[in-house]
Amino acid sequence: MHPVSGGCYCGNIQLDLQLANAPASYQPRACDCEFCRKHAAAYISDARGTLRIRINDQRRSGTYRQGSELAEMLLCTHCGVLIGALYRAEGRIYATVNVRVVERAESFGVEQAVSPKQLSADAKVSRWKDLWFSSVELA
Ligand SMILES: [Zn+2]
C-alpha cells in the first residue's frame, strides 16, 4: 500500500489514504459541474484502498449537497477547503478525495476531464461504488 496524507488548510480535517498503487497511476478526475469547477477540484479514489478522515472540530466542518443531491461535499467551514465527497448507502460510506488537498499532489498522473453530471442518478451511484473508496473511517 502507498500512504498519502492530506487535509484542509487549517488542519481541522486530516486525511490518511492508503492506495493500492503508486500515485502516478491515478488520474485525478476533473469534474465539469459548476460546483467542482468553482473549487477547481479533481478527484482521486481507490476502491481497493482505504481512507481515514479525522475531523477535529465537527462544528467547523460542513457538508453541501449539489447537483443530484445524492452525495455530500465535505468542506472545512473554518478555512473553506473542499475535502471531497461522501456517499452513504447500506450503512457504508463511499468517498472520493479532492487531489488539491493531498501532499505531493503533483505525484499523481495527468488529470482527466469527466462529466458525471450527464449520468442518471443510478449510473452515478454505481460509478461511485466502483471507483470510490469503500473502506472509509470517519472520526
Ligand atoms: Zn480547515
Q: 74-130: per-residue pLDDT in tens?
A: 999 999 999 999 999 999 999 999 999 999 999 999 999 999 889 999 999 999 999
What's the pLDDT at 66?
Answer: 84
What's the pLDDT at 69?
Answer: 85
How many angstroms does the Cα of residue 37 sit away from the middle of ligand 1? Answer: 20
Span 24-28, average pLDDT = 97
What's the pLDDT at 28?
Answer: 98
Residue with cell 471531497: 84
Query: 124 with 114: CB under 8 angstroms?
Result: no
The residue type of 135 is S
Give residues whose Cβ lies within 5 Å of ion ligand 1. Answer: 8, 10, 12, 76, 78-79
User: What are the structural domain ranges in the chain?
Assistant: 2-138
- Helix and strand numbers, DSSP H then E, in the chain: 2, 11
Distance CA 139, CA 53 (A): 6
Which grid cell sits at 26?
491515478
pTM of this structure: 0.94
How many angstroms does the Cα of residue 82 sit away from the middle of ligand 1? Answer: 9
What's the pLDDT at 12?
Answer: 98
How many angstroms does the Cα of residue 30 sit away from the middle of ligand 1? Answer: 22
Fold topology of 2-138:
2.170.150
Q: 37-57: per-residue pLDDT in tens?
A: 999 999 999 999 999 999 999
